[in-house]
Structure 1
């Protein structure tokens, strides 16, 4: 039996470098989805349901070493002008997947409802197939719950129904038929989840949309322990980190916020807001100078969302007021006032300033 040398090194959270005798490869992702570039050039995607042992791997690009070399063209070959070259035959777009004739009834019934905007449709399928096919009931609960999240904004009854359905779904064990259905018929379907004000993520089922959506619903209902548990089950992504940092902050777990946001840099709106929460955590623990440095990094890129910049500016103003730096606090508050007089929290900041 030959020996094999392999070492995996974490570069940043979610990104690993794999060193072996055949070369160096990279992998990106975490629990649920991971894309790997192997040393031989092959690129693969692995989708799994954490905690179940169920996974599915697909090759996105074959190994460069297995590609057949292109034969060299003799120098006497006549060059054909593009305008005179024959046009390739037209290609028709791939037909969307649909259940075959021998597919089970539950699969056909759920597939027929994928475009439905009526939550009661999924209740009927759950009642019809739930006893004999538990994964059909679970899928129906997920799809109904996500539909309530999408359409039920401002409707307390719809939000509570979504919280019940998705909370129950998050606690269930996934099955192979469920994963197959999602990969076959919902590979790119997304649902909007408001992680925080001004940050809405479009997530797929394999992106932990169920866990992050129900975490926000639990938070809105005031059930922070359930919200934190849900967010902690999600694979480590920036949106999951933002959800968890916001929940830790609400729960007064400021040291956890700092540990969660270590090594975060201002790369986009989400990471800028993560830095804002990190600065707030430092301020809550009394490290005002460290908080001010973090806020400076969060505000460094001026192209970030106005709502996120305004939140960070008000947080920085609060730190300045704590240290009796009223001139600096006034500058931050007046900047928000000039750009958005109706921004939430602005009246309280003005009162504290005066």
Structure 2
């Protein structure tokens, strides 16, 4: 056993990735790279807009700025390594590098799950209890929500990263994934991981089922309030906004739940890595569009920023 543990700390892993280095994979690789550039650009622009325009200094946009920062870090933790591996033909990743990927990924995934729930609560208060909004979403509350998402996500990640990496890995060290993700790595372990899977299931309830339930309840309450409005235009706009938000939430939480809350024996080769595309690559690109760039205030702030740059 000690020999296996020592071996785990000195040998590299192999990431099989999404695609091979063949010419036929070039189109798919280019698509992923373009999405990465779009995600980083969109989220960076969003943060700059929120920093420079005082009209966007509200609790909702404060939470959105943290969401954008999480999305930049998350996709940057994964795609550059994919690009490097594809161009160089080398697919190895060190044990330490794998640990860093797991830690950052779990921190940002967990933090974003909690942050999305906080954002849905913000919308619920703004629409259903507008008179109490300044009290229920004051500066202390919004900082507590954002800081709590980062802190709880980090603590959870430290525990799971340390626990997952202490398992001995025997035989093949080829991870059938495009980054180091815990469920894919557990399949390489030569010991029983049932106890850890049970603990991961509990974390899944805290970070997945509870937040997604809160989001669902919040939007149901929002829709019920909106349907009581007399303005059909307001109803149509609110319903459209809620629909887009729920599509993104489903794309994020659905594959995430399916990946992390199944027993190891139910994970099929190659399936998890395609599901992971949704919550690691696609949603960081869609979040700014759905939550921000469809908003009049954000579009107006962008126009003002472009005017200022043109004048200079």
Q: Same fold (TM over 0.5)?
A: no
- Bigger share in helix: 2
More strand by share: 1
TM-score by length of 1: 0.21
Higher relative contact order (CA 8 A, sep 6+): 2
TM-score, with length taken from structure 2:
0.23
Structure of larger gyration radius = 1
